[in-house]
Structures are given as structure tokens and as C-alpha cells.
Amino acid sequence: MAAEQPVSRTAKIIGVKESLVLIEVDDNTSLIKNELGYILVGPERLKAEVLRVRQRTADMQVFEDTRGVRVGDTVELTGEMLSAVLGPGLLGQVFDGLLNPLHALAGKYGFFLPRGVTIPALDLKKKWHFEPGVAIGARVSPGGVIGTVPEGVFKHKIMVPFNEPEPVEITWIREGNLEVEEVVARYKTGKGIEREMTLTQRWPVRKPIPEALIHRRYAERLYPTEPITTATRVIDTFFPIAQGGTGCIPGPFGAGKTVLQSCIARFSTVDIVIIVACGERAGEVVETITEYPETKDPRTGGTLMDRTIIICNTSSMPVAAREASIYTGITLGEYFRQMGYQVLLIADSTSRWAQAMRETSGRMEEIPGEEAFPAYLGSSIKNVYERAGVLRCPDSSVGSLTMIGTVSPAGGNFEEPVTQSTLGTVKTFLGLSADRAYRRFYPAIDPLISWSRYLDQLGSWFTRNLDVNWVRDVKSMQELLEQGDGIYQMMQVTGEEGITEEDFIIWQKSMLLDMVYLQQDAFDEVDACMPRERQLASFGMLKKLIEADYRFKDKNEARDFFTKITGLYKNWNYSRPDSPEYERYAKDIDQLAGQYLPGHSAQ
């Protein structure tokens, strides 16, 4: 839709404090919270956002380096919110937090990016073949689909602008190869106003896309009813995440967050992946940018980057840009959810985002909360995660936005404010353990501190689709892990001699569960991805082994048995289902277990 030109308004800078400037307007000019402005420094235009308004003055955070900004400099106020351009061409791109395409910036200006430079998020010259989906005279709801353009393996839906207050009437529409800014249709509002549509539209990133639609009943939030399959056994079985749900992965440095989120992004049953690097270290971001285009996508056969968007703001970038990046990523996720796609957003790491808020809050001299984080930290985190969810769209398709945030608490302290505020919001907690990482137990998700509220919530789905009492069986295995840990702690004091043979076998069974099911090899082509069907078969076989009543001569024989069965089971995990080794290892496991059951003649 063609944007209306805002009335020109200006302000003057009356104070500068690092990335924060204080501006003042005259009596005839009003200020709007969260509106954008441009600070004029010679030929440069530095983008900034109004954070707080106090009568004729306001605090603005600047998205770029403020060197050279002085008292008396002019600020052009736009009257517009910080917005994302939504349209075909987003997939496969790497953007900064303000949706500037980084590859295009580097190609034009080199690797040292100048200040005050912006590039359109979408390629303005590329043509897309638009195919209409409605006829002239059709009435279409806000967010309703008027046609599609092909984008890779997806159909990119072109929708009526979300900010229309009521259904509109299509008065003109055409088919053909069009650039993103060419007019593709015209419509008439309920008030008789004629407007034009292009292949793109804009939306303020701090405002949820579905919010206005829900109030007008053109879209409907749904209760999450099925889990997302990540192909990581410990998550899918013990700590599931609902499709359209929320989860967090806190853990110390070196606990494997990057590898785990890469596996989740690659193998999860979602259509589109959005990675938001909201302040991670540059080395980890570069690894993501270089690996994704080279990683084969098991769903499409192309590369993982074909259905991925990366929002990249490293810890060396300005605080304001890092803080905005997570909202930009969520807005893109909501946009594709409106098309009926299943979207996964991974924010890495929300600790850096919270630290950016802390820095900005400190410069604004707000009253600090715990550990100098802003007092509104908890509500900010809730507002972010609440934008996830399942939505029935105006065209009756159902899309979802699943959000997983990684948290990097200093020293692995899960009691710090960011982790605690996140735990009060999400429904799945995948706590990474430094101790498990040190012992090379990957993924280092600690089963004794992690939890998922979705396990019970999705119980009917598990029962209906897996044809077993999945929740009951999983909880019995969790009890075994707790029992085994208690026995292990006792052994640290008394040694093996201080526990009974029965307790020793319980501990060995819990170790078997840990070694062959909770642990998974992310670098093995087969074991890295275990579909839910195979997880069910593996869990059933393992449950049978654990519930068996074995007879051993002594603890040494028990230890030898569990060592052998663990080795066979790991080899079975590495075997393809269509290979001879798969059946052979399964048979060897069954035969070995049978030798120690009551009544076996060879024992």
C-alpha cells in the first residue's frame, strides 16, 4: 500500500549521553512515543527512536554510533513507528536489527559499514510472478489473501494490509511479473476511500500483527494441541514443546547451546526458521551465517538457508540495534504465520537483549531493579514470548509461531533475573548443565532440573497418535532418573559397597537410559535426527529392557551386562532403519537381555 507522507516536524538536541540523546520541540509540535527520527550530522542521517516523552522533551535512543552528535543538531521526526517491510524476498537473507540486508551493504560499501546508511530490505528490481486469488468486487478481510507469488518451495501470500479497520472491496487486480513496489491491486475501504496495494506492506515491530485482527474477529488464536518434533530425543520425549508454544534454553558458556539450537532449527517439523542473534559474539554469528547455506535441508532437499531468515546483531553493534532486533524477528515470524505456515523463532541470546535494555535504562536514569536490570524486565520478557502462538487466519489456514530463547546467565547461575523472568513466562525449560557438558553428555540438558508443562497439556495428542500411555511411561522414566541420581550421590559417600545390589541395578538402569536415549550424537548423520516414529520404537524397546527383572551373580556381572547392552544400543542408534545392522543389533540386544532373565537355561 502506498505510504502517506507524514507532516514534516523537527526538534533540537539539548543533551547527548552516549547512544542516548535528549531532544526538545517547540510548543506547536507534539512528540509520539516510539516514533522514528533522523539526527542530521552533516550529510549523515542517524536513525533514532523516541523512548520516553516528557511534555516538550523526549529521550531518543540512537541506532548508530553517536560520535560527532552535538547539542543544537537538528532531528527530523517522521511520525512513523520503527517498522518492518514485509513481502517476498525475505527468505534466505541476513539482516541487521533494522532489517538492512548485510550482504547488500557489504557488497556496496565493503566490510566496514559507514554510518547513516540504509538499504531497502527487499530487492526492488527483482520481479515476482503474481497470481490473483480473488476477482474484482470481492470483499476481503484485513490480512486476507488476494493472491500469491512463488518464493522457493513456498507460496508467498499477498495480504490486505493488516491495519485496515474493516473488510475492503477489490476494485482492480492484475496478474504478471511485478517488482515489489509496483501496484498489484486497488481496493475501496468501507468509507469509500480508494487505495493501492503492492506486493509489500509495513508493520510496526513493537506491535503484534494478530492483535488488531483478533479484536475484529477476522483471525482467532487457538490453543496449542500438538507438539513440535525436534528429532532430539530428550526434548521430544521428556520435555516437549508445543507447536506455537514457548521454551527457553539457559546454560553456561561451552554447554552446547549453539549446536543444540542448530539441530532444532535443522530437524524440527516447521516450515520457516528465523534466527535472531540479538547480541551474540561475532564468532558464533559468523559460524551460523557460513554453515546454514552449506547445510542440507532434510525437508526440502535444498539448503537450510532457503527457508531461514537470520537477524544478526553482534555484541559489538550499538545497544539500540541489538534491542530492536528481537522485535524485528518476531514481526517477520508473525507475518509468515499469517500465511498459515509453521514458524520457529530462536532468539540467541535473550541475555544480551536484556543487557541492552539495562544499558539504555541506566542512561535514562530510571530506578533500577535487581542487578541493575530495569524494573520492567519481567513484563518486557512476557510481552515478547506472548507473541508466540497458534492462529487461525482469515483464509481458514492455521499458522503457528514457536519461540525458543537461549539464555546465557553469568557463571551458569539460573537464579539471575533474566533466567528467572523467562522461567515465569515459558512452558518448557531446557536447562543445560556445565557438569554434563564437562562429561561430554550431549545434549547437556539436565533431566533433573528441566521441565515441560506441555507434557500433560498434550497428553491426549500423545495417547491418540502414539497409541500408548505416553505421559505415564515418561513420568516413570523420570522417576528412574531421580532414583538413580539419589543412589549415585550415596555412592559418592559410601562407594559401591555401601549400597545394595538392587540399588546398584537401579542406578545402572538409569545410566542406560541416560547414555542411550538422553544423549545424542549431533555429528552422526543418523543419530542426529531421530523421527518420532523411531523414537517411539526406541523408547518401547528401552522400557522393556529397564522393566525386566534381571538375575546377576554379583555387581560386577551386572556392570558388565549394562556396559555391553549400552554399546549395542548405541550402535543400533547409529544404524539406518533400512540397513542389515539395524535388525542385527536389535536382535543382539534382545538375546543378551534374555540371558539374564529368570529361567534362562544358559545362565
**What is the distance of C-alpha 152 from the center of its chain?**
22
pLDDT the model gives residue 212: 52
231: left (phi over 0), alpha (psi -120 to 50) or beta: left
pLDDT the model gives residue 282: 61
End-to-end, the C-alpha distance of the chain in Å comes to: 80
Q: How many C-beta atoms surround the C-beta of residue 275 within 10 A?
A: 25
Give 214-246 pLDDT, tens digit per residue. 556 677 889 999 999 999 999 999 999 999 999
Rounded to whole angstroms, the Cα distance separating 50 from 59 reads 6
pLDDT the model gives residue 5: 45
- What average pLDDT score do residues 331-341 get? 96
> In sequence order, which residues have a C-beta less than 8 Å from that of residue 207 and are 6 or more positions away?
81
Give 504-537 pLDDT, tens digit per residue. 999 999 999 999 999 999 999 999 999 999 999 9
Buried b (16+ CB within 10 A) or exposed e, 278-300: bbbbeebbeebbeebeeeebebe
Give 549-589 pLDDT, tens digit per residue. 999 999 999 999 999 999 999 999 999 999 999 999 999 99
Rounded to whole angstroms, the Cα distance separating 60 from 13 reads 10
Rounded to whole angstroms, the Cα distance separating 312 from 309 reads 10
- Name the pTM for this structure: 0.94
Give 166-179 pLDDT, tens digit per residue. 899 999 999 999 99
- What average pLDDT score do residues 455-480 get? 93
Q: How confident is the model at residue 354 (pLDDT cuts 50, 70, 90)?
A: very high
- What average pLDDT score do residues 96-113 get? 86
Burial class (CB within 10 angstroms; exposed 0-12, middle 13-18, buried 19+) of 333: buried
Q: Please, are residues 180 and 204 in contact by the beta-carbon 8 Å criterion? A: no
Q: Please, are residues 350 and 403 in contact by the beta-carbon 8 Å criterion? A: no
Give 18-36 pLDDT, tens digit per residue. 889 999 998 788 899 999 9
Q: How confident is the model at residue 105 (pLDDT cuts 50, 70, 90)?
A: confident
Give 56-85 pLDDT, tens digit per residue. 999 999 998 899 999 999 999 999 999 999
Q: How confident is the model at residue 602 (pLDDT cuts 50, 70, 90)?
A: very low
Give 271-326 pLDDT, tens digit per residue. 999 999 886 666 667 777 888 888 888 888 888 899 999 998 765 567 777 788 99
**What is the distance of C-alpha 81 from the center of its chain?**
24
- What average pLDDT score do residues 464-469 get? 87
pLDDT the model gives residue 211: 60
Share of the chain above pLDDT 90, in %: 75
Number of residues written out for the chain: 603
pLDDT the model gives residue 27: 79
Is the pLDDT score of 138 beyond 80?
A: yes
- What average pLDDT score do residues 479-491 get? 97
- For the chain, how big is the Rg over CA atoms in Å? 28
- What letter represents residue 294's amino acid? E
- What average pLDDT score do residues 199-213 get? 85
- What average pLDDT score do residues 96-116 get? 85
pLDDT the model gives residue 439: 92
Q: How confident is the model at residue 388 (pLDDT cuts 50, 70, 90)?
A: very high
pLDDT the model gives residue 268: 95
pLDDT the model gives residue 232: 97
Rounded to whole angstroms, the Cα distance separating 171 from 174 reads 11
Is the pLDDT score of 358 beyond 50?
A: yes
Could you give all domains of the chain from N- to C-terminal order, each with its CATH number? 9-80 (2.40.30.20), 123-199 (2.40.50.100), 227-439 (3.40.50.300), 470-594 (1.10.1140.10)
DSSP secondary structure string, 162-205? TT-SS-EEEEEE--EEEETTS--EEEE-TT--EEEE-S-EEEET
pLDDT the model gives residue 317: 67
Helix (H, G, I), strand (E, B) or coil at 342: strand
pLDDT the model gives residue 117: 86
pLDDT the model gives residue 557: 96
pLDDT the model gives residue 213: 56
Is the pLDDT score of 540 beyond 90?
A: yes
Is the pLDDT score of 603 beyond 80?
A: no
Residue 553 half-sphere exposure toward CB, CA atoms < 13 A: 5
